[in-house]
Amino acid sequence: DQQVKQNSPSLSVQEGRISILNCDYTNSMFDYFLWYKKYPAEGPTFLISISSIKDKNEDGRFTVFLNKSAKHLSLHIVPSQPGDSAVYFCAATGNFGNEKLTFGTGTRLTIIP
Amino acid sequence: DAGVIQSPRHEVTEMGQEVTLRCKPISGHDYLFWYRQTMMRGLELLIYFNNNVPIDDSGMPEDRFSAKMPNASFSTLKIQPSEPRDSAVYFCASRRRGPEAFFGQGTRLTVV
């Protein structure tokens, strides 16, 4: 049973445009969400997170939006750059970050120069 | 800090052989996680430890898999006997209290 779902396995975006990656979750106990970025032959690295007490968190070109009623979050990258090409994993946890991380299946983002 | 260190980076073994993957967490981190990455299931949690004690091993696929953490600076994941369907990238991650986990570079396991 996949509690965190990323329904788009891949996404291609023109350089300079906005990239939007989506994530849905089913477990109502999740209250903290993270995005990780993964390059080939490397481990995932933390990118940005959001607590359920907020609906938006911004860090430079990266913004995460959380819609609790829809159990949906999204990652916006503006403007997209070639170095953003990677696999992005959505993750969720409970107890405000003190439980284990449950990951989605990932979305491969390709930025086209 | 060197980060989470995993060894080996690549492992190719024959079906039926024993495989041992190793992990050194970041010093001071009291949580350690073992994940497996596959196309179908993404990053799948196998087991995690807190202060060297296994907390949740519900993700371990079957009895062929076992994990130990004899001390705060070392953990192993063992597969015996290995099967071709075990081929995947295995990641170790560690963290202090709080959500952000730091991952190692992974071990790519191929069972032929």
Per-residue confidence (pLDDT) for residue B71, from 0 to 100: 95
Asked if residue A1 has pLDDT above 90, the reply is no
Per-residue confidence (pLDDT) for residue B1, from 0 to 100: 63
Asked if residue A95 has pLDDT above 90, the reply is no
Distances in whole angstroms, Cα of residue B14 to Cα of each of A11, A63, B85: 36, 45, 12
Grade residue A31 by pLDDT with cuts at 50, 70 and 90. Answer: very high
Asked if residue B86 has pLDDT above 70, the reply is yes
- Taking residues B26-39, what's their average pLDDT? 94
Asked if residue B74 has pLDDT above 80, the reply is yes
Chain A hits for B32, CB-CB cut-off 8 Å, are none
B102 to A2: CB separation less than 8 angstroms, yes or no: no
pLDDT tens-place string over residues A32-53: 999 999 999 999 999 999 999 9
**What is residue A79's three-state secondary structure?**
coil
Q: Give the residue on A whose Cα is nearest the Cα of B55.
A: A100
Chain A touched by B40 (CB under 8 Å):
yes
Chain A touched by B8 (CB under 8 Å):
no
A101 to B42: CB separation less than 8 angstroms, yes or no: no
How far apart are alpha carbons B18 and B77 in whole angstroms? 11
CA angle B92, A88, B21 (to 5 degrees): 15
pLDDT tens-place string over residues B48-60: 999 999 999 999 9
- Taking residues B58-86, what's their average pLDDT? 95
Asked if residue B39 has pLDDT above 90, the reply is no
Could you count the other beta carbons within 10 Å of the beta carbon of residue B89?
17
- Taking residues A88-113, what's their average pLDDT? 91
B105 to A105: CB separation less than 8 angstroms, yes or no: no
- Convert B31-69 to b/e letters by CB count within 10 Å (16 or more is b): bbbbbbbeeeebbbbbbbbeeeeeeeeebbeeeebebeb
